Copies of this chain bind each other. A is one copy, B any other.
Amino acid sequence: MGIEVRNIKKVFNKKTVLRDINFELEAGKIYGLLGRNGAGKSTLLSIIANRIFSDSGEVLLDGESVFENDNALGNMYLMSERNLYPEGMKIEAIFKNTELLYGAFDLGYAQELADKFGLDTSQKFGKLSTGYRSIFKLIIALAVPAKYIFLDEPILGLDANHRELFYRELVDNYVKTQKTFLISTHLIEEITNILEHVFIIDQGEIVVDGDVEAILDKAYLIAGPKEDVDNYCQGLNIIGQENLGSIHGNYIYGSLDDKRILPDTVSIERMDLQKLFVNLTNISVKGGASK
Contact = CB atoms under 8 A, between A and B. Distances in A.
Contact of A290 (B37, B129, B153, B163): B129
B128 A161 contact: no
A117 B285 CA distance: 7
A237 B287 CA distance: 50
A285 B162 CA distance: 9
A238 interface: no
A174 B172 CA distance: 43
A120 B35 CA distance: 19
A120 B288 contact: yes
Nearest to A38: B129
Nearest to A123: B288
Interface stretch (A47-55, A65-73, A220-228, A274-282): A274-282
A132 B37 contact: yes
Interface residues of A, number: 45
A288 B186 contact: no
Given A129-B291, A290-B132, A118 B186 contact: no
Contact of A118 (B35, B123, B130, B286): B286
A160 B188 contact: yes
Interface in A165-208: 186-189
Contacts of A158: 37, 186
B131 A159 contact: no
Contacts of A162: 36-37
A127 interface: yes
Contacts of A120: 287-289
A91 B288 CA distance: 10
Nearest to A133: B291
B36 A159 contact: yes
A118 B161 contact: no
A21 interface: no
A159 B186 contact: yes
Q: Which one of A35, A120, A291 has the greatest number of beta carbons of chain B within 10 Å? A: A291
Contacts of A274: 160
Interface in A136-169: 153, 156-164
A81 interface: yes
Contact of A156 (B156, B277, B291): B156
A119 interface: yes
A291 B127 CA distance: 6
Contacts of A189: 189
Contact of A130 (B36, B156, B187, B281): B156
A53 to B, nearest CB: 21
10 contacts: A37-B129, A38-B129, A118-B288, A126-B291, A127-B288, A127-B291, A156-B156, A156-B157, A161-B281, A164-B278
The 3 closest A-B pairs by CB, nearest first: A118-B285, A120-B288, A37-B131
